[in-house]
Amino acid sequence: MNNPVLDPRDLRYVLFEILNIDSLTQFEKFASFDHDTFEATLDLIENIAVKECYPHFADADRIGCSWDQATGNVTLPDAVKKPLKAYYDAEFIGIVESPEIGGMGMPQTLGAACGEFISAAHQPLLMWGALAHGSMMLISNFGSDELRKTYIPKMMAGEWGGTMCLTETQAGSDVGRLTARAVKQPDGTYRITGQKIFISAGENDFYSNMVHPVLARIEGDPEGTKGISIFIVPKFLPDAKGNPGKRNDLKCTGIEHKMGIKGCVTCSMSFGDNGECVGFLLGKEREGMKIMFQMMNDFRMGTAVQAQGVSSAAYLHAASYSKGRLQGSALKDMNNPSAPMVPIIEHPDVQRMLLWIKSYVDAQRMLIYNMYYNMDLGTVLQGEEAKEARAIVDFLVPVCKAGCSDRNVLITSEAMQMFGGYGFCCDYPIEQMMRNSKILCLFEGANGIQGMDLVMRKLLMNPGQYNYSVFKKRINESVELARKNGIPAEYIDPVIKGLARLDEYVEKMKGMAAGMKFHQILSGATPFRKAIYMLAIAWMHVWSLAVSYPKMKAIAGDRKGAELKALIADNREAAFYYSRVLTSRFFIREEFPQFFGMMDALFSDEWPALEAFAEAFPGTVEM
């Protein structure tokens, strides 16, 4: 299959050789599956991604979604509807959910791999399925029996969709300042009033009904996040048979004109303009943020998957282009004006650029899948092992969400650089990938929030810094494996030194917290988060070397130079392991040294950013 979006060999390397997800089948929860089942699932999702999704990627962006001001209706292009139908027909919305609610019950790790395939092929498409899935699972976990019976089958079948309605104009990320209100009715329902903005998938003509989880404050409840409740607000109120009935009092009042992800509509929504918007309470009153955080946390993990998918596609497009684009002569012929042109991949700087991109794409895939794998382990292991698995997931969520989305913007930029001026034009999809990438840094908690979450909730406020201790333990386990498998010390020692340096700063932060220096801690939160991401990427490369280096040696032996190059040209497995080893060597020797400069900056006792009051930025205008 001509697959321009994701390397299926590398995906399988991470799933089966690094993580060994086949081992999950020893547990009762996954005992009905085997390696052949996993392989068949991967083949199916690759087929859907490459044949059903990717061909519509460009048209979904160029045509976009349209809004009718008179009716508030939104029309989607066929370039969204057709691949979305294929996604639902294959029943991927429920791939990791329990068969008790109509799902397949497969491992979360495999679900992440499927998500990366869809995102690599048609990133905005994944948002439709993810939002429907997320709102469906809120109902599954917190809804009444009646809500579950009515909504879940329809949503699992792809007949009804879902959203996440948090943001309001005046509140933004400060959700506690929302003004949406709920008034309890004698029949136990609530009347919802308020406006929400930036609601992805809020209105469309694909689903026969839309299910909106809406955050609102019940009349009389306290201000701030502690007074927020969450409600299910359907576009059409289900009738006695569970089918769409009377139209609810809600409307799409406009759609955003965006830089990217134009295949997923972003709506402004108004609830209760006529005082008749009916909502159904999820869970208990004043537990809205606690409940919604389940969906938000899943979406933060999913954002990392989206970023990885886009990065994967950008890398493969750039690498493929570099092998076919002729420009310039070989370095050895630099003084010969008649020398033939060569593919740009033969130029040293292009080789460096590709290795730079690949070093992050390879490691991020490992890091993200490892996060999901531990999510699986947390459900099947017992005692301390289960606790450790859940802890590393908790710790890695902000690292993956922010780190991978930040890097995605840089990866698509560097990939575009490889195309030259053509990359800036619509001739190639790389410009669309770059435009799509930035939103991933902004939604599901802007990346600055992820830094604060990592430093405060996941580290300093975590009892005994348990999450961080597990993070360190896992790195040390990979280091020991690398030593055992004969990896040269020059690729191991920098990670050991990096972990020690990180440890020193964690102790410094604990001292700052004891001294109530929280302004300093938060000023350094994003730089710290970026540094720990770099260390996590280096950890993945050490782990990868521990697996790929012995396998490369087993195939290539002591071959060097022309003999090794000839083997790699003729043997795909040799080429794969050689590429993995080379990429890890590159990152540890050429990229990871930046980590130590980042840490040196954090150790400075000078905090200029804390002196940056508003007047320190002259020349501004009112906006």
Residue pointed to by tokens 């698509």: 412
Mean pLDDT by runs of 10 across the 623 residues of the chain is 92 98 98 98 97 97 96 96 96 95 97 98 95 96 96 97 91 78 96 96 97 96 92 97 96 97 97 97 94 91 97 97 93 89 94 98 98 98 98 98 98 97 95 97 92 96 97 98 97 98 97 95 96 98 98 95 94 97 98 97 91 92 89
DSSP, collapsed to helix, strand or coil, labels residue 217 as strand
DSSP state of 210: E
Cα separation, 180 vs 193, in Å, equals 6
pLDDT of residue 538: 98
Out of 444, 507, 573, 611, pick the active-site residue.
444
Write the CATH number of the domain with boundaries 8-156.
1.10.540.10
**Closest residue by Cα to residue 191 from 242, 237, 222, 225:** 237
**pLDDT recorded at residue 173:** 67
Q: Could you tell me if 230 and 178 are in contact, meaning their C-beta atoms sit under 8 angstroms apart?
A: no
Would you give the DSSP letter of residue 222?
A: P
Q: What are the backbone dihedrals phi and psi of residue 395, each rounded to the nearest 5 degrees, phi first?
A: -70, -35
- Comparing CA positions, the residue from 586, 28, 174 lying closest to residue 348 is 586
Asked about 159 being catalytic, the answer comes back as no
CATH entry, 161-288, from 3.40.309.10, 2.40.110.20, 2.40.170.20, 1.10.8.60: 2.40.110.20
pTM over 0.85: yes
Residue 309 to residue 50: CA distance in whole angstroms: 13
- Amino acid 172: pLDDT: 63
Provide the pLDDT for residue 444.
Answer: 85
Displacement of CA 28 from its chain's centroid (Å): 29
Q: What is the dihedral of CA 185, 187, 188, 192, to 10 degrees?
A: -40
Amino acid identity, position 597? G
Furthest-apart CA pair in the chain: how many Å? 88
